Amino acid sequence: MDQDVEESGDGGEGRRAADELRDELRSAGYEVRRELADAAGEVRRELADAAREARGEVGVEPRRFVEA
């Protein structure tokens, strides 16, 4: 692909546009992964609360786990 961009004779504009697009997509990917991790953490907390409630431990303080 790099060779195609260089041979196009656009003075590197195609390459710069491709680099910018790649950076934007990478940034969006990081954001999506962070949001998914946050959502997964919330689901884990809700499931833990439901499990405690099912065991009759409603007033018991939940254990805290350190996430890596």
pTM, two decimals, is 0.55
Residue whose entry in the numeric block shows the structure tokens 């954001």: 31
What is the number of helices (H) and of strands (E) in the chain? 2, 0
Averaged pLDDT for residues 5-33: 85
Identify which has the larger pLDDT, 10 or 25.
Answer: 25
pLDDT at 8: 56
Beta-carbon count within 10 A of 49 CB:
13
Q: Distances in Å between the alpha carbon of 24 and those of 21, 27, 34?
A: 5, 5, 15
pLDDT digits (tens, 9 = 90+) for 34-64: 999 999 999 999 999 888 888 887 766 666 6
Averaged pLDDT for residues 9-33: 90
Q: Where are the domains of the chain?
A: 24-54
